[in-house]
Structure 1
Amino acid sequence: MNALTKVKLINELNEREAALGVREAVSWHAEYKDSAWVFVGGLPYELTEGDIICVFSQYGEIVNINLVRDKKTGKSKGFCFVCYEDQRSTILAVDNFNGIKIKGRTIRVDHVANYRPPKDNDDIDNVTKALRERGCGAKTPPPTSSDSSEDEVPVQRHKGLEACSLFSPPCYC
């Protein structure tokens, strides 16, 4: 199945759940509740980690990113893995960024169930080593006492964001 077909299927699933009013606890996203990682594919090759963080931090604090690069040339392979501080941010990222265009390329954003970090090499810093040991963002904070299941609202796409210069044409999600 090609990447654009996967983008379309994820968007159709989200639309169906929104139309049916499916609760967050039984949504297809709940299968990934233990992972704060998302896969981002179809990226323009010239984007850097900073560019990706700039776009994806709209829905939460990013604590780790792995932009996969060619070992010989160091050039981006056009996909990366992003880890959010809070797992709930992954749902927003998947629902809102999947299928958008960045610099003329349609990107695919999906959950990652079991992210495996790349093998350690000598040039990684202590912060990265610590994140790999303890993991990042896998624990979602418990709901506050004012939250109740009766007040649960299905996840909806957010509208009215500022236009981003990386989107072509300008995206207002």
Structure 2
Amino acid sequence: MNPLTNIKNQNKLNERELKLGIAGDLRKSWHQKYKDSAWIYIGGLPYDLTEGDIITVFSQFGEVININLLRHADTGKSRGFCFLCYEDQRSTVLAVDNLNGITLLKRVIRVDHVEQYKVPKYREGADEETKRLWEEGCAPKPIRRIDKNISQSKLEDENDAKNKVVSLKKLMKKTAGNVDMDWKEQSKFLDKSVKEENFYGPNKHFSFGKKNDVIEEPTHNPRPDFEKADWRDIEIWKEIREREKAEQGGSKKCDWKQEEHYISSRYR
């Protein structure tokens, strides 16, 4: 659709909300669809505008924390549209309602919401300033305020400590690839006699030439301690005991005579 037609349709929506009396109520407004996105699209920009110029125009409705002005990869010239992010999502509603369809440097610009903003792909050919803008954004950094009660000596001590840390890091990087060839200092560790137990540690795989003590398995079913034993061991013990009883019961001879039951004469 023609960008000018989109601008007119969007302005008609705003006029209709004013007539219905729901302007400003985000629960009923068409802006409710974009409540989770703080990004806006700005199209039809003059090609001479830079990121700073765009931020100057749009910062009147809120603090701008990020901007992505699309440029040609070969020439670096602006492509006439960009994406801008506010710190507060409500600023997007003000920018869309007030700046959509205005004339900026003899060009009509279009301002609209962005429901799902896609982060630009990383390019190695981009300049350092663009990479820094992608990583850090354009939000103003907080200024560190120094308390007047802090003495100058404490500040100097903090700076000295920071300088020492930086110097140590540089020294560690320089000496990272160096190999210590001074074996005289390590001779006491090489000449020191170490017992076999301490050398290999308590690992049974290094017991060379030693007889392994084979633990004899019990010939009977040991009775477990019912207070300390696991329930699985108790159930296994019960099962084995039942099997042993069954085997012993089948081998024994029964010398009892057969059972006798009283039967009434009328059933005989």
Same fold (TM over 0.5): yes
In structure 1, C-alpha distance between the alignment counterparts of 2:82 and 2:37, rounded to whole Å: 15
- Correspondence for 1:69 among 63, 68, 71: 71
In structure 1, C-alpha distance between the alignment counterparts of 2:103 and 2:119, rounded to whole Å: 27
Q: Which residue of 2 aligns with 1:129?
A: 135
Q: Which residue of 2 aligns with 1:118?
A: 120
In structure 2, C-alpha distance between the alignment counterparts of 1:14 and 1:107, rounded to whole Å: 17
* Aligned-pair CA distance for 1:37: 0.2
Q: Rate the CA distance shift 1:41–1:28 in 2: closer, same or farther, 3 A.
A: same
* Aligned-pair CA distance for 1:130: 5.8
Q: Which amino acid aligns with 2:14?
A: N
Q: Deviations over 1:8-57 (max 9, x none)?
A: 00000011011111122111001000000000000000000011000000
Runs of 4+ aligned residues of structure 1 deviating over 6 Å after TM superposition are: none
Once the two structures are overlaid, the 10-residue window that deviates more, 115-124 or 44-53, is 115-124
Q: Which residue of 2 aligns with 1:7?
A: 7
Q: Work out the percentage of aligned pairs sharing the same amino acid.
A: 60
- Correspondence for 1:104 among 106, 118, 125: 106
Q: Which amino acid aligns with 2:134?
A: T
User: 5+ unaligned residues in a row in structure 1: which ranges?
Assistant: 137-173
In structure 1, C-alpha distance between the alignment counterparts of 2:82 and 2:44, rounded to whole Å: 9
Q: Give the SS at the match of 1:106.
A: coil
Cα RMSD after superposing both structures: 1.5
Q: Which amino acid aligns with 1:13?
A: L
Q: Give the SS at the match of 2:27.
A: helix
In structure 1, C-alpha distance between the alignment counterparts of 2:60 and 2:20, rounded to whole Å: 27
* Aligned-pair CA distance for 1:121: 2.8
In structure 2, C-alpha distance between the alignment counterparts of 1:15 and 1:56, rounded to whole Å: 22
- Correspondence for 1:93 among 83, 92, 95: 95
* Aligned-pair CA distance for 1:84: 0.2
User: 5+ unaligned residues in a row in structure 2: which ranges?
Assistant: 140-268
Structure with the larger RCO, 1 or 2 (CA within 8 Å, 6+ apart): 1
In structure 2, C-alpha distance between the alignment counterparts of 1:75 and 1:84, rounded to whole Å: 24
Q: Which one has the largest radius of gyration?
A: 2
Higher helix share: 2
In structure 2, C-alpha distance between the alignment counterparts of 1:51 and 1:130, rounded to whole Å: 19
Q: Which amino acid aligns with 1:16?
A: R
Tell me the number of residue pairs that the alignment of Structure 1 and Structure 2 aligns: 131
